[in-house]
Amino acid sequence: MAQGTLFVLSGPSGVGKGTVLEHLFADYDGINYSVSMTTRDPRPGEVEGEDYFFVGRSKFEKMIDNDELIEYACVHGNYYGTPRHYVEKTLHRGQDIILEIDIQGANQVRELFPEAVFIFLQPPSLQALDKRLQKRGSESPEAREIRLENARKEMAEVDKYDYVILNDKLDKAVEKLKNVIELEKNRRKK
C-alpha cells in the first residue's frame, strides 16, 4: 500500500488557518486532520479533541521526553505540538493528513518528513492581521503586538514553502487549498 501524503498548513497566528480548514472540511473529505495538543486554556467555543487536546504542562513535557510528538514549540508562553502516533498510523494506512501548525513546528516536521507538502497561509497585510487579532478578542494589546512582531519574522520564511496561499477572501483561499491537495494527490499517483 502506498504511503499517504503529509500536508502542512502554517502561517502567522491569526491568519485564519483554522477557519480555512473548517471550511475545507465542510465539503471535502479527501484528507484527515491531525488535532494538535496545547497547554493553553481553551478559547470560548473550542472543543476538546476537535480543536485541540488540552493538557497540562507536565503531561506535555513528559510526551516531549518520550519522543511522542513529531513537532512542538513554546509559542506565546504555551506549548503546542502534534502527537506522533496518529500521524504515522494515518500515513501508513495510505491516507493523507494535514497538520495546522506554526512556523517553528513546520521547520521541525520538514526535518522528519522532507517529502511533506508545505503550504503557507499569508495575510493580505500586517494591518489586516492586526484587525483579525483584534476581532478575535482573545489577547491583550501587548500580546497582540508580540504576535504581530512574530508574524513579521514568520512571513520572512515564506520561501521555505512549496505553496503560498493569500487569505484575502475566505472562499478563494479554501478553493486554492483544495486545488493544492488535489494537484499533489494526482502528482503522487503518477
How confident is the model over 35-83, as pLDDT tens digits? Answer: 999 999 998 899 998 889 999 999 999 999 999 999 998 877 899 999 9
Torsion of CA 65, 68, 73, 75, to 10 degrees: -100
**What is the rounded distance in angstroms from the CA atom of residue 142 to the CA atom of residue 153?**
17
Residue 147 has a pLDDT of: 78
- Convert the pLDDT of each residue in 76-134 to its tens digit: 789 999 999 999 999 999 999 999 988 888 999 999 999 999 999 999 887 887 787 77
| Enclosing H/E stretch for 81 | strand 78-83
Residue located via cell numbers 491583550? 140
Beta bridge partner(s), residue 82: 71
The 3-state DSSP class for residue 84 equals helix
- pTM, rounded to two decimals: 0.86
Torsion of CA 42, 177, 112, 3, to 10 degrees: 110
The 3-state DSSP class for residue 24 equals helix
Structural domains of the chain ordered from first start: 6-189 (3.40.50.300)
